[in-house]
A = this chain, B = another copy of it.
Amino acid sequence: METLLAELKAHGAAATVHAHPAVLTSEEAEAHIGGLPGAHIKNLLVSDKKHGVFLITMLTERRVDMKAVARALSLAGANLRFCDKEALKAHLGVEQGALSPLALANDADGKVTFVLDDGVLKHESVLAHPLVNTATLSLPTAALVAYATRHGHAPKTLDFDALAAAPPPAAPAVKADGPAKGAGASNGGGGGKGSAAAAKGETGLSLQNSKESDFTAWYTEVILKSEMIEYYDISGCYILRPWSFTIWDSIRDFLDALIKTLGVQNCYFPLFISKSALEAEKDHVEGFAPEVAWVTKSGDGDLAEPIAVRPTSETIMYPAYAKWIRSHRDLPLKLNQWNNVVRWEFKYPTPFLRSREFLWQEGHTAHATKAEADKEVLQVLDFYRRVYEELLAVPVIKGTKTDKEKFAGGDYTTTVEGFIAHTGRGIQGATSHCLGQNFGKMFKIEFEDERSEKQIPWQNSWGLTTRTIGVMVMTHSDNKGLVLPPRVAPIQLVVVPIPKKGADAEVFAKAEEVAAMLQAAGVRTTCDTRANYTPGWKYSHWELKGVPLRLEIGVNDLAKRQATLVRRDTGDKCEVPMPTLLQKVALLLVELQHDLLARATRERDERIKRVLTWAEFVPTLDGKCMALTPFCNETEWEDKVKELSREESLKRTDEAAEDVRTSTSVAAKTLCIPHDQPELPAGTPCFVSGKPAKCWVLWGRSY
């Protein structure tokens, strides 16, 4: 590294060294350098027998499959595969995790081709490992390019934006967000039948990735192109655009009304926690401490003591509870807040599912008796189920977490567990905790009961986050883009007029009249009257955004006093006489909502397998299923399953080496002990320990 730094210095490049613990992946590195300005890059060494070795350096947020890269590099028939540790060492002389363009100097005979993401060049500086994986160098981007060029590796730059936006190989490249100018006239009449498919090629609005072939890239593309999310220059933080935030508002309205039926009141507690308050409950602070963000400065000055940004508000709220709760008459105390929390996670961030700041509601209640607290835990859990099932059309399984997986500092945790069929992974939907009297003891919350005796109240806390939106997207959306359940869709129906020379005015007027009628009847409707886009472009655009219903009106429809309705989820079309239109729309919205849940439930149910022996366990997970097993419910055995399943998975998946390298989550974990328990005959052995099973437990790989 010293030589490298000396060389950079000699060429006038100002480089700053950021030391950190050894890292093996760019994801791990981000945990340490996440806040640094400049281009954050990942570096892939890939090769192909025919075409040689490539170092591909791109922005960390890119999700590009190697086939697209090969196409863009015009490597006909290339099958680019990741180089293993040994090849990495042999080609570029560095260990795993230390790869960066700075290692190109070690390729003296110029075997490696350097491919650089154009996007990197848009940043003034770039972050790269200086031949070791225990530090990151921040240096001017121009200096990095100069360095590579000096060492005979002038970069081949590639437009990764175009790569992501490009249409399938057959069609010519078109700008993704541009209108198909002047194409309008060629596209009128005929009610638009069959034109949607044809339009795709013209519009460039189709997705580059498919749900089946690269789920992660597909997800990213869907939420970006539908305008739900925008990326942000601080890793793990995302912008919620109106298209997703409106959904969060719907969830908020729905859930807020439900919790108010329990007498819960909204309030607002501060964002910041003093160190001493945060540390009042030992298990709790241990659970959260590694992820806490600390404010230590204001303006130019240091704060006397660091202040934590809330990861959750137990330790903020309960000192006040100790003040407010004196008598049994002060109970139950039921407060809730809708707010933002920060958990500086080190895992790879994913929009909605795992972000460093997220929105949620957190309810915190205190009760005179355990029975009351227990009852509320389940009432709220059922509200959470209703958010998923009734609003988002996502099926969930209610259950209780094992001791190993419960909330830090609480008595027990109940959960609604979702399932992403395409990856075969479970996902925690929302949790409702009984905290017991632990926090009460730590925060000295006491009340006098009716016999004037001091008691400690029973407390609950429960929360539901913006993760809900991510689970919904993953569940319903398809290779045309987002599919939104009607109850939360910001727009439920889009009216698209089909212009025809000489009849434009009439068609547009009718379209607006119908839209106004539906809007007045309470259907969230928009009429897309933009003159500079073709109907085909509009179809693709609104499909990408997931609008549940499309209503097409053309000249023929005018004559027949009808319109054509198209379902986003199935593509089913029907012609509807105008007088029955409103009722038909109302019916379709309800049917579509119902069908989404039914379909997702079917897909999920097919993937729950009863597993009675260890031998079946990992193969079940590999088959993208969850395993329902009889289990002894001992933490020691739970740890063992995690470890054994990981080892066994790694053995089985040599080919998926890339996935394994970047993820430890091939291990199985308990999702929950489902509340709906099948019969468990006495003496049924635990599937792993052979001891008598205590209950059925649902296992899976998970997010």
Contact = CB atoms under 8 A, between A and B. Distances in A.
Interface in A290-315: 290-301, 303-307, 309
A269 B319 contact: no
A238 B329 CA distance: 25
Nearest to A245: B267
Contacts of A240: 267-269
A32 interface: yes
A630 to B, nearest CB: 38
A272 B342 CA distance: 10
A467 to B, nearest CB: 14
Contact of A249 (B266, B270, B276, B294): B266
A405 interface: no
A240 B339 CA distance: 13
A126 B274 CA distance: 15
A165 B37 CA distance: 53
A234 interface: yes
A347 to B, nearest CB: 13
A297 B295 CA distance: 7
Nearest to A330: B177
A553 B178 CA distance: 70
Nearest to A276: B37
A111 interface: no
A266 B292 contact: no
B292 A294 contact: no
A293 B304 contact: no
A298 B304 contact: no
Given A290-B299, A301-B32, A319 B271 contact: no
A36 interface: yes
Chain A's interface size range is: 35 or more
Among A238, A248, A299, chain B packs the most CB atoms within 10 A around the CB of A299
Interface in A242-264: 242, 245-246, 248-249
Contact of A277 (B233, B242, B248, B357): B233
B293 A265 contact: no
Nearest to A127: B304
A289 interface: yes
A275 B271 CA distance: 21
Nearest to A335: B242
A32 B304 contact: yes
Interface in A475-512: none
A295 B242 CA distance: 28
A230 interface: yes
28 contacts: A32-B304, A35-B306, A35-B307, A36-B305, A37-B275, A136-B304, A232-B320, A233-B274, A234-B272, A234-B273, A239-B267, A239-B270, A240-B267, A240-B269, A242-B335, A245-B267, A246-B265, A249-B266, A271-B342, A272-B357, A290-B299, A292-B299, A293-B295, A293-B297, A294-B296, A294-B297, A294-B298, A298-B344
